[in-house]
Structure 1
Amino acid sequence: MGDNRPVFQRIADDLRRQIDEGALPVGARIPSRSELKRTYEASDQTVDRAVRVLKAAGYAEGQFGRGVFVTDRAPIGTLLRSTGAVDSPFAARIALEGSPDGAPLTWEASSTAAAASDRVARRLCIVPGTGVIRSVYEYLANRQPVQLATSWEPLAITEGTDVVFPECGPYARRGVRGRMAAIGIRVVRAEERVGSRPASSAEAETLGCSPGQCVTVVERTHFDADGRAVETSDIVVRADRWRLAYDIGFV
């Protein structure tokens, strides 16, 4: 049976195989457009599309004025997610490759009042346009970007309290459970949904990857004892460099 894959996909798959098998090691230059055209008897558009596939998958990156080079895809580490993790918007511990004791985690955050989008409103079970506090986080380990996160909390729950801004006030950096407990709300569970999508230009710049490269996205929502959603967040990490590990306990 013949190979029905598009030509650009066959080229991308062959280059990916060479990278996986070490024929094109980390740091090696991907053959130029003219070399690829000659090798695969393909057009400019076809080989360009094949190289874009490699970039989007995290196998290669362009260097201005120099060409396209094989990137290091070895996992940096694992994000260990569990109920026992530090209660922060990060909600994970870090295990770096070769350093099982973890790494110091720092983060920067900013919060502003906003109107809930349709997507956020669905997750919080509120009316679109309802006031929320939107907090944007950038996490670093060993001064390297690890994770981006955006969190939304209904203003109807926190407005006028000491916890309205997650990173300010007497309960700053206490995490969702700790902060909500300070205003009499008991958070009893969190739900996470894991997916993937292409990185936006802004995400790629911060995380050190190429726009369009695959990132892992965790949609997490915290609920109180009455089943009310009190916070929801989008957590973004590079799919090629970080693994997610879940500690699932049984009672």
Structure 2
Amino acid sequence: MGDSRPVYQRIADDLRQQIDEGLLAVGTRIPSRSELKRTYAASDQTVDRAVRVLKAAGYAEGQFGRGVFVTDRSPIGSLLRTGETVDSPFAARISTGGSSTPLLWEATSTTAAAPPRVAERLGISTGDRVMCTQYEYLAGRRPLQLATSWEPLALTEGTDVVFPERGPYARRGVRERFAAIGVRVTGATELVGSRPATSLESETLGCSPGQCVTVIERTHHTADGRAVETSDIVIRADRWRLEYRIPFPG
């Protein structure tokens, strides 16, 4: 039986296999359009589509005026998810080479109206005022992780913790900040998913537009289930693994 895959998919799969097997090493220029056309008896459009698939999967990137080259897909490290690191995006740590290294971060906070999906997660009404904080996590000045956090201003406005990145409780975890205003945070829920990177995310994280990113949707809550903070953490799916440490009762 003949190969039923579309030609563009066969080209992309063949190139992926060569990269996975090391026949095309990191930094190597993949065959040119004319070479691929000749090898597969394909049109310009078919070859271009195959290369777009390869780029979107994180296997290759274009360099202006030079061609398309194989990218490094080896994991940078593991994003640890434990009771300590889940407390806050800036408490998260990355594990590389057997040691844990904290990420430096920069943040900007602005007041905003809660969009429907955020309002649902926080248990408030759409349009209610929230503090929206945008984070970039850096290693060697290179952005490795993005996060957006939302907190209801009905809880924090007029307090010392209204701005997560400044004030007497800056750079503290969610539990410690909210404890300072008499709110006891007892747990967090995380949903892990994936989606294509937006243009801004791909530009910031150094990946191709549409490339797959992992999104951790996390919500902190009190003992009675009241949500006090929710956030989206975004990392490159091809470079980061999620490491969950799950203790079992004795």
Q: So what's the TM-score if we normalise by structure 1?
A: 0.95
User: CA–CA distance in 2 between the matches of 1:179 and 1:89?
Assistant: 13
Is residue 114–residue 134 contact of structure 1 (8 Å, CA) maintained in 2? yes
User: CA–CA distance in 1 between the matches of 2:7 and 2:176?
Assistant: 55
Aligned amino acid, residue 187 of structure 1: V
Is residue 54–residue 60 contact of structure 2 (8 Å, CA) maintained in 1? yes
Structure 2 counterpart SS, 1:244: strand
2:84 is the alignment partner of 1:84: yes
- 148, 151, 165: which is aligned to 2:149? 151
User: CA–CA distance in 2 between the matches of 1:91 and 1:168?
Assistant: 15
| Structure 1 residue 140, shift from structure 2 partner | 1.1
Question: Once the two structures are aligned, what percentage of the paired residues are identical?
Answer: 77
| Structure 1 residue 211, shift from structure 2 partner | 1.2
**Residues 1:70 and 1:246: Cα distance change in structure 2 (over 3 Å):** same
| Structure 1 residue 2, shift from structure 2 partner | 3.6
| RMSD of equivalent CA atoms | 1.3
| Structure 1 residue 48, shift from structure 2 partner | 0.6
Unaligned runs of 5+ in 1: none
2:246 is the alignment partner of 1:229: no
| Structure 1 residue 141, shift from structure 2 partner | 2.3
Aligned amino acid, residue 212 of structure 1: G
Is residue 92–residue 102 contact of structure 2 (8 Å, CA) maintained in 1? no
Residues 169-188 of structure 1 mapped to structure 2, 5 A cutoff: 169-188=167-186
Runs of 4+ in 1 over 4 A off after TM superposition: none
Which residue is 1:16 aligned to?
16
Aligned amino acid, residue 84 of structure 1: E
Unaligned runs of 5+ in 2: none
User: CA–CA distance in 1 between the matches of 2:87 and 2:119?
Assistant: 24
| Structure 1 residue 72, shift from structure 2 partner | 0.7
Which residue is 1:61 aligned to?
61
| Structure 1 residue 91, shift from structure 2 partner | 4.0
Structure 2 counterpart SS, 1:102: strand
Which residue is 1:126 aligned to?
124
Residues 1-251 of structure 1 mapped to structure 2, 5 A cutoff: 1-85=1-85, 87-96=87-96, 98=97, 100-251=98-249
Aligned amino acid, residue 90 of structure 2: F
| Structure 1 residue 101, shift from structure 2 partner | 2.0
- Equivalent pairs counted in the alignment come to 249
Is residue 105–residue 142 contact of structure 1 (8 Å, CA) maintained in 2? no
